[in-house]
Amino acid sequence: MSKLLTEKVALVTGAGSGIGREAALLYAKNGAHVIVSDMNEAGGLETVDKIKAVGGDARFIKADVSSPEENERLVAKTLEAYKVLDIACNNAGIGGESNPVGDMSIEGWKKVIDINLNGVFYGMHYQIPAMLTQGKGAIVNIASILGQVGFMNSSAYVAAKHGVVGLTKNAAMEYSAKGIRVNSIGPGFIKTPLLNQLDEATMNMLVSLHPIGRLGESKEVAELIVWLSSDKASFVTGSYYAIDGGYLSQ
């Protein structure tokens, strides 16, 4: 079977675990050279090892997406290594502080916005010029179901993910005619390290919110990411795809 992304160069942020790791691995399995980026160096290197174990090609570059300079360096290092940037998956994110708006700390608000929203803007700000030089590219931004609806005590996360959806639409309008497709996806609650600190009762509550009767798997989200990154989705841009076990259908 032919591979969807043979000889493409893909950059994944937050690739040290969870959805980012599975996306990086599936990119590689589909023939892409992968830049694995994360603040967690041990996790990022483990992802690289997993990719190499299945015969793929990957390199790790540590970067903090909340820093414009580190995003610029990340793209520069990618071009230095592979000369081109075909695909970017802006996945890095945190859950952040859980409090109602009136009690949310200013620091907690800023941290979530800096990573989950500003990080996506900074990423695209440097990824897009690199893609323009070759006249094509695909960007997938990881939003959330909470890019469409609210969730108690998660104002910063909800605001950031709504922002990612809007930012994606705008970038698609501005650059699709120049060969760069930009889409976002909205995972429901996925079994990732972000949920590891939750107790059994809370996990059962989250499961109950999904009509499909379970939480999602990172591998399932990765399948959508890879499809959107490939030529199979050549007429898809500016779109938001929920992958949520029916959460938003309620």
Could you give the residue numbers annotated as active site? Answer: 157
- Which helix (H) or strand (E) is 229 found in, with range? helix 218-229
CB atoms under 10 Å from CB of 73, counted, come to 16
Q: Let me know if 196 is exposed, middle or buried by CB neighbors in 10 A (0-12, 13-18, 19+).
A: exposed
| Single-letter residue type at 118 | N
One-letter amino acid for residue 237 of the chain? T
Find out whether 29 and 226 touch, Cβ atoms under 8 Å.
Answer: no
Catalogue the E-assigned strands of 64-203.
Answer: 87-90, 137-142, 180-187
3-class DSSP assignment, residue 161: helix
Query: Do 187 and 216 contact (CB within 8 A), yes or no?
Result: yes
Beta bridge partners of 35: 11, 59
Q: Which helix (H) or strand (E) holds 33?
A: strand 33-38
Instruction: Write phi, then psi, for 188 (nearest 5 degrees).
Output: -75, -155
Q: Which residues pair with 137 in a beta bridge?
A: 180
